[in-house]
């Protein structure tokens, strides 16, 4: 838990500096953009699990546009459960968070937000847990594309984004998390997740920084 001076106070910074956290992540020549769960069920407040993430979707759309222009692979993920999974008792996550049962396959809630501007040839991964790596082909896909750096954005910051970023590092990818393109249902979990990711797992960067990296004409790689 944060101490009395808050997440970014001097006492907290001293503790984390002494522990050796917060080093800068290398940025390789072969990034991929991983867009985590920016589906309507999360990005629109009319859905039970949703919030108004219009600003975050707009930021992610900027990243996607640059990725398309610079031939950077885009992978979009969505949580989706079959009727048997959503109505049954076999998925442990659904016992803890029963509201997630609303994310049923082929429903409006699991449709990727059209404002993202995804292309037909962008990669899409369906998942059953928080991390986009768990039980999916994402690690194999990134390896097959010879990716060295994962640029992560999406929702929610404290849940699926954080889990995906942690697993990206554990799968061998240097990782950037784009703060402006990540959203949550409440500010506290969002800020805490970004603080912890910056300390231990990823570089938390601004939208402008991420765009500059993806758009760098000198970032060369043979595909």
Q: Which residues are catalytic?
A: 160
The distance in angstroms from the start CA to the end CA of the chain is: 44
Beta-carbon contacts of 134 under 8 Å, excluding residues fewer than 6 positions away, are 127, 128, 163, 167
Question: Torsions phi, psi of 41, nearest 5?
Answer: -65, -20
Cβ–Cβ under 8 Å, residues 205 and 178 = yes
CB atoms within 10 A of CB 216: 14
Q: Report how many helices (DSSP H) and strands (DSSP E) the chain contains, helices first.
A: 9, 6
Cβ–Cβ under 8 Å, residues 184 and 107 = no
Q: Whose CA is closest to 198, among 35, 16, 60, 14?
A: 16
């Amino acid at each position: 838990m944060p101490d009395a001076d808050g997440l970014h106070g001097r006492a907290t910074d001293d503790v984390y500096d002494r522990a050796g956290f917060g080093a800068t992540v290398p940025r390789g020549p072969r990034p991929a953009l991983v867009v985590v769960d920016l589906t309507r069920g999360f990005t629109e407040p009319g859905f039970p699990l949703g919030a108004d993430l219009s600003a975050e979707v707009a930021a992610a759309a900027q990243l996607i546009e640059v990725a398309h222009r610079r031939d950077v692979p885009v992978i979009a993920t969505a949580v989706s459960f079959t009727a048997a999974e959503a109505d049954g008792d076999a998925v442990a996550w659904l016992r803890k968070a029963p509201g997630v049962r609303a994310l049923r396959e082929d429903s409006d809630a699991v449709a990727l937000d059209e404002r993202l501007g995804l292309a037909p040839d962008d990669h899409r991964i369906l998942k059953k847990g928080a991390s986009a790596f768990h039980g999916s082909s994402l690690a194999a896909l990134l390896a097959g594309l010879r990716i060295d750096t994962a640029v992560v954005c999406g929702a929610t910051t404290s849940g699926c984004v954080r889990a995906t970023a942690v697993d990206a590092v554990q799968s061998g990818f240097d990782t950037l998390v784009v703060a402006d393109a990540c959203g949550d249902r409440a500010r506290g979990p969002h800020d805490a997740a970004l603080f912890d990711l910056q300390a231990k797992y990823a570089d938390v960067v601004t939208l402008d920084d991420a765009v500059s990296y993806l758009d760098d004409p000198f970032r060369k790689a043979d595909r």
